[in-house]
Amino acid sequence: MSRSTGSTAVRSTAGRSIAPPAIPAPGHAPASRTGAQVMCEALIRENVSVMFGIPGGCIMPFYHAMWEYRARLRHVLCRHEQGAGHAAEGFARATGQVGVCIGTSGPGATNLVTPIADAWMDGTPLVAITGQVPSALLGTDAFQETDITGITVPITKHNFLVTNATELPRVFREAFHIARSGRPGPVLIDITKDAQLARFVPDWDEPMDLPGYRPMSQRDDVDQAAIRAAAQLLQDARRPVILAGNGVIQSGATRELRALAEQAGIPVISTLHGLGAMPHDHPLSLGMPGMHGWVHVNRAIQACDVLLNVGSRFDDRVTGKASTFAPHAQIIHIDIDGAEIGKLVRTDVKIVADAKPALRSIAVALPVGSTVARQAWIHEILAMRDEHQPRQGYTRRERTAPLMPHDVFDAMNAAFRDRSDWRVVTDVGQHQMWAAQLLDWSRPRTHITSGGAGTMGFALPAAMGAAIADPSRTIWVVVGDGGFQMTSCELATIAQEGLTNVKVAIVNNGYLGMVRQWQQLFEGKRYSGTPLTGPDFAKLAEAHGLRGFTVDDAADAPAAIEAAWKYRGCAVIDFRVEREANVFPIVPAGQAIGDMLMAPPATPAVPAVPSPFAQA
Ligand SMILES: Cc1ncc(C[n+]2csc(CCOP(=O)(O)OP(=O)(O)O)c2C)c(N)n1
């Protein structure tokens, strides 16, 4: 099985133990430290225990110091900085804590750009630490110099270039505060090599200096006038719905969501990132909306008279053509980030607040009244659901190959049903939408995916981070053969770390499936750049010392999942599914969410641009 190099051992290469410098107790004068040692102590003070990264020239002083602190700071050596960043994201998404990733200057830093952008889009708390060339060389195109603070301005909540080591204690406190407060997100700290090497006496009490940064927190008062207005709208509504997003999960407000829904008899729709906020089998739980949302959910949105959006930012994958979204509804929007409110969809009641206190306040303000009219509304939605029988209709779809994608998800659901010790991390593409639609999501933070950025390659490293964060749970990766090949090098990291709780299900259709689906439905089947080959994934797993399975018949899927689950090590299952299965429903790009396709159009679309090589 996996080989462990003992990367967390507390011994020097010479076999002698090295005592880390003691972190001074409060009230004791701290001794002089290098900037790099201060970085380690600042991380420990922020309760960081695990970091994901790759060393290199300009970050070497930090790695040198890390050795002394290795009993308290575990470093996971990833195979690519993109993997390190996604691993830190997975750690953060599983725990709600700030994830930490590290890269050297130049290419190390630019390789972190994708996960930083991903964390930005999905509100994931992340601190990225990068080394920078010595301050005397800044701006000279020195070896491995890249202006990473310039590059990451639009995709970080804030970033810092530290050239003066004495700023490090304050900068680290500010960075972690910014990453985890308000709408969480990524912060980058770029530290020149000379600042890491400089010796000084750190001042841990220097106050934060963040003029103008006043994020909302759970302790802040909620605007009571807005709460009363929202409660009144909900009380008077005959056809209300709640749209629950990532903010509910981030705020830990699932109980408050359920309490309000039950008190007022309002059905709840969960966005991709809201899956798990409301148990799938709760009578008021409707499922996912949007481009691949269920028919009854999208129709409920288009017919509702009041829509309470809590913690979702009206992504265009949810709204379709925004001007046509929920055309009859008065809209209440609760968001911790005021800039999201009214950005894409008109809003009637604006509540800038954390989801938990806001939902609690609305429940208190809501007069207890009759819900008879609501019951009629709920029955109407459920009748739509029964008519379309989305889940059943999908799984009953004719089997055109020995293994259909839905066979894989059926088998997974059966394996998950009686267990609670799992999470699923999905990648981007068809398998991601099938997982969202077909798996039964009941608990928060069990569904982790790349939503806003849609980053292929996210799943395997993010699962690695989630697995390290919580060794008691099995982390299932659901990934396409395309996305898997983007970051499959992290199998080596999983093997080196000896992780036993990562299980990988590759939904292998031999295509970049989601793009191929669009080409089939909207571009006259012109499969340009989408047919895809790959290695024998089971053998690839075995080559890493992991366990590999190949499944090409539905009858074998449940046994493979059980065997992988019970195997005391990381396992990879290559599910070779029907190549041209599609995700339905689908709302064509730019259309209203009511305009769903439930099957390929009768007349296939032809490419809009005729071939320049066509014979005259
Ligand atoms: C890094 C990146 N490159 C390109 C895309 C565009 N894209 C979206 S889905 C998709 C196909 C994914 O194929 P695969 O991983 O095999 O999953 P499938 O759709 O077949 O389930 C592509 C190329 C993307 N989302 N991310």
DSSP 11-36: --TTS---PPPPPPPTTSPPPPEEHH
Predicted confidence band of residue 16 (pLDDT cuts 50, 70, 90)? very low
Average pLDDT over every residue of 590-616: 70
Top-confidence residue, 24 or 385: 385
Q: How far is the CA of 429 from the centre of ligand 1 (A)?
A: 5
Residue with CA closest to ligand 1 atom 3:
456
CA atoms within 13 A on the CB side of 283: 6
**Ligand 1: distance of its center to the CA of 502 in Å?**
22
3-state DSSP assignment of residue 459: helix
Which residues share a beta bridge with 131? Answer: 191
The ligand 1 atom at the shortest distance from the C-alpha of residue 429 is 19
- Residue ranges in 265-404 assigned as alpha helix (H): 295-303, 316-319, 355-365, 372-388, 390-395
pLDDT band at 602 (very low <50, low <70, confident <90, very high): confident
Q: Which residue among 428, 484, 487, 506 has the greatest number of ligand 1 atoms within 8 angstroms of its CB, and so is best to mutate?
A: 428
Give the model confidence (pLDDT) of 291-323 as tens digits: 999 999 999 999 999 999 999 999 999 999 999
Q: How far is the CA of 531 from the centre of ligand 1 (A)?
A: 12
In angstroms, the CA 435 to CA 95 distance is 21
Tell me the C-alpha distance between 292 and 296, whole Å: 12
Mean pLDDT in residue range 474-489: 98
Give the distance (Å) from ligand 1 centre to CA of residue 285. 29
Of ligand 1's atoms, which has the minimum distance to the CA of residue 513?
A: 20
- For residue 12, the model assigns a pLDDT of 32
Average pLDDT, the chain: 92
Model confidence pLDDT, tens digit, residues 220-234: 889 999 999 999 999
Q: How far apart are CA 18 and CA 8, in angstroms?
A: 13
Instruction: Output the pLDDT for position 30.
Output: 67
Count CB atoms within 10 A of the CB of residue 153: 12
478-495 average pLDDT score: 98
| Pairwise pLDDT comparison (28 vs 584), residue with the higher score | 584
**The ligand 1 atom nearest the CA atom of 453:** 25
Q: Nearest CA to 57 among 193, 199, 198, 196?
A: 193
**CB 110 within 8 Å of CB 148:** yes
Confidence band (pLDDT; 50, 70, 90) for 14?
A: very low
Ordered strands of the 502-508 beta sheet: 447-448, 422-426, 474-480, 502-508, 571-576, 547-551
Q: Which atom of ligand 1 is nearest to the CA of 517?
A: 19
By DSSP bridging, strand 126-132 and strand 158-162 are unpaired
- Mutate which of 455, 456, 506, 579 for ligand 1? The one with the most ligand atoms within 8 Å of its CB, which is 456
Report the pLDDT value the prediction gives residue 387, as an integer from 0 to 100.
Answer: 83
DSSP 176-233: HHHHHSSS--EEEEEEEHHHHH-EE---TTPPP--TT-----TTSPP-HHHHHHHHHH
Higher pLDDT, 390 or 351: 351
Q: What secondary structure, in 3-state letters, does 536-590 show?
A: CHHHHHHHCCCEEEEECCHHHHHHHHHHHHHCCCCEEEEEECCCCCCCCCECCCC
Distance CA 459, CA 461 (A): 6
The Å distance, Cα 449 to ligand 1 centre, comes to 13
Q: Within 6 Å (CB) of ligand 1, which residues are found?
A: 427-431, 454-457, 480-483, 507, 509, 511-515
Question: Which residue has the least CA distance to atom 23 on ligand 1?
Answer: 512
The residues, any chain, with a CB within 8 Å of residue 594's CB and separated by 6 or more, are: 298, 299, 302, 324
Residue 84 binned pLDDT confidence (cut-offs 50, 70, 90): very high
- Res 598: pLDDT: 84
What residues contact residue 142 under an 8 Å CB cut-off, 6+ apart? Answer: 133, 134
What's the 435 CA to ligand 1 centre distance in angstroms? 15
Whole-angstrom distance, CA of residue 75 vs CA of residue 100: 10
The protein residue whose alpha carbon is closest to atom 13 in ligand 1 is 512
**What phi and psi, each to the nearest 5 degrees, are found at residue 502?**
-110, 125
Which among 513, 515, 535 has a CA at the least distance from the CA of 581?
513
Q: Cα–Cα distances in Å, from 498 out to 12, 133, 396, 473, 545?
A: 21, 34, 40, 15, 10
CA distance to 65, 120, 303, 396, per residue, from 327 (Å): 59, 30, 8, 34
Q: Coil, helix or strand for 478? A: strand
DSSP for 422-457 reads EEEEE-SSHHHHHHHHHS---STTSEE---SS--TT
DSSP H helical ranges for 216-354: 224-236, 246-251, 254-264, 295-303, 316-319
Closest-CA residue, ligand 1 atom 2, reads: 456
Please give the positions annotated as active site: 81, 143-144, 193, 514
Give dist(CA 404, CA 396) in Å, integer: 11
| Spatial contact of 330 and 348, defined as CB atoms under 8 Å apart | yes
The mean pLDDT of 256-283, rounded to a whole number, is 96
Strand partners of residue 101: 52, 128
Q: Which residues pair with 306 in a beta bridge?
A: 240, 330
Q: Which residues pair with 586 in a beta bridge?
A: 597
**Closest-lying ligand 1 atom to the alpha carbon of residue 434:** 21
What are the structure tokens assigned to 173, written together?
A: 């406190």
Residues 327, 332, 334: CA angle, nearest 5 degrees: 135
Q: Is 129 helix (H, G, I), strand (E, B) or coil?
A: strand
CA proximity to 328, closest of 238, 231, 226, 229: 238
Cα-to-centroid distance, 213 and ligand 1 (Å): 37
pLDDT in tens, 36-57: 999 999 999 999 999 999 999 9
pLDDT the model gives residue 344: 94
For the residues of 96-118, what is the DSSP string, one character each? SSPEEEEE-TTHHHHHTHHHHHH
pLDDT digit string, tens, across residues 353-369: 999 999 999 999 997 66
Q: What is the pTM of this model?
A: 0.94
Residues 6+ apart with CB under 8 A from 183: 123, 215, 247, 335, 336, 337, 340
d(CA 506, CA 537): 9
Cβ contact 172:160 at 8 Å: no
